[in-house]
């Protein structure tokens, strides 16, 4: 899927740090309320935004490539958009091609699961108490998929031999208040 050409509600482009994460989340919450998004949907959007921003924060904090500035390497984008049918949370960041393969496998696996299988996997990962080297238990993609109710979309644009731009899209139905 291409990035939706929907109306932008919130946009951020720059270096991600803990202060920016808080500011972006406050912006998402206040603008979602201002445009009249219902409580249940607003809560889903906020929770998915937290997961997406945590991914950006944790997976770009130590990202370096020889000959390129750290600021250039750690620049990210976050967007909260809407069209007639959906809200979209979109993130973009640089990564190494070999890391994309790992992410792609995880996302394809999560996307193939039924609602019941997602629920079971979520419980299993939650109770296994193993943390990754980035501090996560692998719940982020599972949780975003469960909350959105849709497959997680993503694509990868090679920049050069060393780097690619990874874009991640989560959509939430505007017209359907789901649990």
Q: Domain for residue 119, yes or no? A: yes
Average pLDDT over residues 1-5: 66
Domain boundaries, position 132: 7-173
**Residue 128: what pLDDT?**
77
In a domain, residue 1? The reply is: no
What total number of domains does the chain contain?
1
CA distance 139 to 122: 7
Q: Alpha carbon of 96 to those of 5, 129, 145, 159: distances in Å?
A: 27, 28, 24, 10
Indicate whether 25 pLDDT > 50.
Answer: yes
Q: CATH no. for residue 33? A: 3.30.565.10
pLDDT digits (tens, 9 = 90+) for 62-72: 777 787 787 78
How far apart are alpha carbons 153 and 39 in whole angstroms? Answer: 25
- Domain-embedded: residue 42: yes
pLDDT band at 175 (very low <50, low <70, confident <90, very high): confident
In-domain check, residue 178: no
Residues with Cβ within 8 Å of residue 14, at least 6 apart in sequence = 20, 75, 76
State the SS3 of 84-95. CCEEEEEEEEEE
Q: Are 20 and 172 in contact (CB under 8 A)?
A: no
């Amino acid at each position: 899927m291409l990035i939706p050409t929907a109306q932008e509600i919130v946009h951020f482009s720059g270096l991600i740090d803990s202060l920016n994460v808080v500011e972006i989340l406050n912006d998402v919450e206040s603008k979602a309320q201002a445009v009249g998004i219902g409580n249940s949907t607003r809560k889903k959007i906020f929770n998915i935004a937290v997961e997406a921003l945590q991914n950006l924060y944790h997976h770009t904090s130590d990202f370096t490539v020889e000959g390129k500035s750290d600021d250039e390497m750690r620049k990210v984008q976050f967007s909260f958009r809407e069209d007639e049918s959906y809200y979209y949370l979109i993130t973009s960041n640089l990564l190494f091609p070999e890391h994309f393969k790992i992410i792609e496998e995880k996302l394809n696996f999560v996307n193939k699961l039924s609602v019941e299988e997602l629920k079971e996997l979520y419980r299993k990962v939650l109770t296994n108490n193993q943390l990754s080297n980035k501090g996560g238990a692998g719940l982020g993609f599972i949780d975003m998929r469960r909350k959105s109710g849709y497959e997680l979309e993503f694509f990868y644009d090679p920049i050069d031999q060393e780097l690619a731009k990874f874009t991640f899209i989560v959509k939430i139905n505007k017209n359907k208040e789901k649990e």
